[in-house]
Each structure stands twice: as C-alpha cells, then as structure tokens.
C-alpha cells in the first residue's frame, strides 16, 4: 500500500513579489479561478528552476511534474544539488505550503523536521513544546506523557528541559526536535538536512532511530541529505531531483551512483569554471591542480606530490586562509590541506598574485575518485572564494580500494603535507 502519492505536483513562485504585481492581473486571476473555475492563467508562464542561467520570465517552477509513490515502511533518500527542490518537496508534503498544481495524498500522521526550531515556540520550555507538538499531531496529553521520559532521554537535554527553547543552542534544538518527531509515533517521518547540525554521536543515534522506525515499526521515512554514505546506509529507495524535476528513481545505491555520475560528467570543464568568488575586487585568472586546468585529471601510483597554482588579482589588500578539502565519491571528507604554515595563519593578497604549493601525497591512497574543494576565507567572517567539487582526481594503481580500511596515522583521515 502506498503511504505517499505525488500526482503531477508543481510549485511555482513569482520572483520578487507575492502578488501578480498589478491590480488588473490580480483581478484577472480572481475572475479566472473563482468565477470561471479554470487554472490560474499566470501559472502558464514560467521556466524551470535552473539557478545557473538567467531567465526571461518573472515566474519560476521550484518543482514541476513531480509524480511518484512511496510504499508504506519504505525509507526514501531524496538527493540533488542545492536548489534542486528537495526542501520545497518536503514542505509541500508537510503542508507548510501548498502545491500550485497537482495533488499530494498522504496516509497517516506526518512528523517533520525541516529546519532548526521548526514547530517550536521560543518562549515555551522544552517540556511545553513536547506537549504542544504532540497536540498538533492529534495526540492526547496522556499519550504524550507516556512518551515524555523517552523523548527527554533521547534528546540529551534533560538538564534544560524546563528552560525556554530560545536559549537552546542549534544542536540542542535539533536534538529535541528530532526526538519529538521520532517518538510521537508518526506514520510518516520527514527529515531534512538539519541532522548535519548535530554532532557525530547524535547523527549516529538519529540514523539508528530512523532504521528502527522504518524496520521495526513499519513507518515511512523521507530523508534529505548531502551525505551519500548516510543515504546508502539508511535508505532502501532513492529519488534524484534536478532543476525541480525528478531525474531518477531507483534503489538507494543506484540513485547515489546516478547522482554522482551526472555530477562527474558535469565536471568536464575547466577548474576555474567551477569556483565562485564572492569578494568584490578579487579576480581569479588561472587555477591549475595536478599540472592541468581541466576539472578531471589522474594520479597514478608513484606520483609523490600534487602541484597547485592559483593566479589572480586583488584590487584591495585582503588577508585570507586558503584551504583544500579532499573528499571521496560519497562526499565524506578524507583530509584538508591549509596553504599557510603554522607560523603564518593568513596569506596577504594585494595586486597581482601567484600562489603555488606542492602537496605531498600519502603512500596509502585509495583507488577511486577524490573530489576537491577550494576555499579562500577570512576565519569566522566571510568567504572570498568558494569552489565546492571544483575538480576530480582519479587515483589509479594504488594498493587499496575505496571501502577498505587502510593504515593511517589519524583515524578516518589521510594526511596531506607540504612537499619539501
């Protein structure tokens, strides 16, 4: 039996304004919809949700023609790039907003954890918010009371449970929010990326709880995450969204593989095309990693260093940290490399500059693909340049494959050091 059905659902937004913009357009919309009982005429205009391209229309489809079913007891991972429509889809399911077209049918109570603090009243205590959330879900005070101790214990917030939640940290808020959503016996549990706010211990406990909810209690879970390892471990099915449309539906492993393959194909470009500089006056002219400006290159066994060269121009003097983060294909971090040594925490950029480094490669590299992020940032203040997945490095001919345990000096990380 299907727990959730999306029947050609679409959600459209008007850029800039809430109304149509003019009284005559508002009157036309009212007459067409409420008197003639026809479709909103302004929904016939619009473009797909591709945020990388400038459009001509005032309207954009955040989601369009979403059509799929979720079986009862299934755990579905929803994946895609930022802006693909994942959070909008969950908000439609949770009735935070309504679809512009189409229909959503859900059987059973829905508990949602969409954003930090969703559904909490900041002036009420943690205990009061537990009872309020349960009442919203239609539970009696006695039913909530039977679950109260279990919720408080799982959240780890016992000491602060009678303190207003406005004084909670974001991590505490997520802990309590998830504990409420998971323990008040919803038929459908909807979880967005908010678990990334929690620490590693809580994430592990939360994923374990979602497995119990789905397998042991037969409830349905929709899980949005950029952590591909978590999606593979937790989910049975996967849905890949791209520019507001369903791009792929399959089992979790196949969905993740499809998403990563598409992302890799999109990386057949120059490294410089995959970075975004957000500081006015900073210009990046050239980026070479592994002696090439191409976004895909190969590291073979026996190569002992990774050369990096960055050339550009800064109209004003800025001081910045420069760092590279190496990840595996599941987006799990392997290592980070700071361009500054311990005695020099910030690099000064003024006028034309060239930054070069030779990064020593560890002998215990994996076979497979590494993804590279590049960042220029002032600590705890702002980013100057951001390049998430700016290039891919294919490692070939090494002793170990991804998924094997390899001997390392620091658990869970490879060591990337400066080449002397």
pLDDT at 53: 53
- The CA distance from 294 to 103, in Å, is 45
pLDDT at 19: 56
Paired with 7 in beta bridges are: 103
Q: Where exactly are the structural domains of the chain?
A: 2-7+64-263, 271-418
Q: Which CATH superfamily is domain 271-418 in?
A: abc- transporter (atp binding component) like domain (2.70.50.60)
pLDDT at 267: 52
- The CA distance from 228 to 214, in Å, is 19
- The CA distance from 291 to 413, in Å, is 24
- The CA distance from 215 to 231, in Å, is 16
pLDDT at 417: 61
Per-residue pLDDT of the chain (420 residues; tens, 9 = 90+): 788 999 999 988 776 555 556 677 778 877 887 788 776 666 554 555 554 555 555 677 889 899 999 998 899 999 988 778 888 898 899 888 888 889 999 988 888 877 666 678 989 999 999 999 888 877 888 888 998 999 999 888 889 999 999 898 878 888 888 888 888 778 888 888 766 656 667 777 887 888 887 777 778 889 888 777 778 888 889 999 988 899 999 999 899 888 877 766 655 678 888 887 666 778 888 999 999 998 888 888 788 889 999 998 888 888 888 888 888 777 777 788 888 765 567 888 888 999 988 888 877 676 778 889 888 887 766 678 878 788 888 887 664 444 444 443 333 345 566 654
- The CA distance from 361 to 393, in Å, is 12
Starting at the earlier edge strand, list the strands of the sheet with 110-113: 110-113, 188-191, 220-224, 75-79, 237-242, 245-251
- The CA distance from 241 to 385, in Å, is 27
Name the residue among 104, 124, 120 with its Cα closest to residue 112: 120
- pLDDT, one tens digit per residue, over 188-227 is 888 887 666 566 677 778 878 888 877 777 788 898 887 7
pLDDT at 234: 83
Nearest-10 Cα torsion for 113, 130, 110, 173: 0
Q: Are strands 347-360 and 305-327 parallel, antiparallel or unpaired?
A: antiparallel
Q: Which CATH superfamily is domain 2-7+64-263 in?
A: P-loop containing nucleotide triphosphate hydrolases (3.40.50.300)
* In contact, 311 and 293? CB cutoff 8 Å: no
pLDDT at 124: 92
- The CA distance from 160 to 236, in Å, is 36
0.75 exceeded by the pTM?
no
Coil/strand/helix, residue 204? helix
DSSP notation for 109-165? -EEEE-STTTT--TTSBHHHHHHHHHHHTT--HHHHHHHHHHHHHHHT-GGGTTSBG
């Amino acid at each position: 039996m299907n727990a959730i059905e999306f029947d050609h659902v679409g959600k459209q937004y008007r850029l800039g304004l809430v109304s149509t913009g003019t009284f005559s357009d508002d009157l036309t919309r009212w007459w067409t919809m409420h008197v003639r009982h026809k479709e909103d005429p302004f929904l016939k205009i619009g473009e797909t949700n591709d945020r990388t391209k400038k459009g001509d229309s005032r309207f954009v489809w955040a989601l369009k023609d979403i059509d799929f079913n979720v079986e009862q007891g299934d755990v579905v991972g929803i994946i895609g790039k930022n802006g693909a429509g994942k959070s909008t889809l969950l908000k439609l399911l949770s009735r935070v907003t309504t679809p512009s077209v189409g229909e959503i049918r859900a059987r059973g109570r829905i508990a949602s954890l969409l954003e930090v603090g969703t559904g909490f009243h900041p002036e009420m205590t943690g205990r009061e918010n537990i009872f309020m959330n349960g009442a919203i879900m239609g539970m009696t005070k006695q039913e909530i009371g039977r679950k109260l101790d279990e919720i408080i214990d799982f959240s780890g917030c016992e000491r602060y449970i009678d303190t207003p939640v406005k004084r909670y940290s974001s991590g505490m808020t997520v802990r309590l929010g998830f504990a409420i959503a998971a323990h008040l016996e919803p038929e459908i549990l909807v979880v967005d990326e908010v678990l990334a706010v929690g620490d590693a211990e809580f994430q592990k406990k939360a994923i374990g709880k979602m497995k119990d909810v789905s397998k042991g209690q037969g409830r349905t879970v929709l899980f949005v995450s950029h952590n591909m390892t978590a999606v593979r471990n937790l989910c049975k099915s996967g849905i890949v969204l791209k520019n507001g449309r369903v791009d792929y539906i399959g089992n979790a492993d196949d969905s993740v593989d499809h998403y990563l393959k598409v992302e890799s194909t999109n990386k057949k470009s120059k490294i410089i095309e995959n970075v975004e500089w957000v500081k006015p006056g900073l210009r990046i002219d050239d980026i070479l990693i592994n002696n090439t400006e191409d976004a895909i290159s190969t590291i073979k066994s026996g190569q002992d260093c990774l050369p990096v060269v960055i050339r550009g121009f800064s109209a004003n003097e800025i001081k910045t940290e420069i760092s590279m983060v190496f990840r595996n294909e599941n987006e799990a971090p392997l290592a980070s490399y700071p361009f500054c040594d311990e005695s020099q925490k910030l690099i000064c950029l003024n006028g034309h500059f060239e930054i070069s480094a030779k990064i020593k490669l560890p002998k215990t590299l994996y076979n497979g693909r590494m993804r590279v992020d590049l960042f220029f940032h002032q600590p705890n203040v702002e980013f100057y340049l951001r390049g998430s997945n700016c290039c891919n490095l294919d490692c070939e001919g090494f002793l170990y494959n991804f998924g094997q345990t390899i001997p390392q000096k620091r658990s869970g990380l490879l060591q990337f050091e400066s080449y002397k």
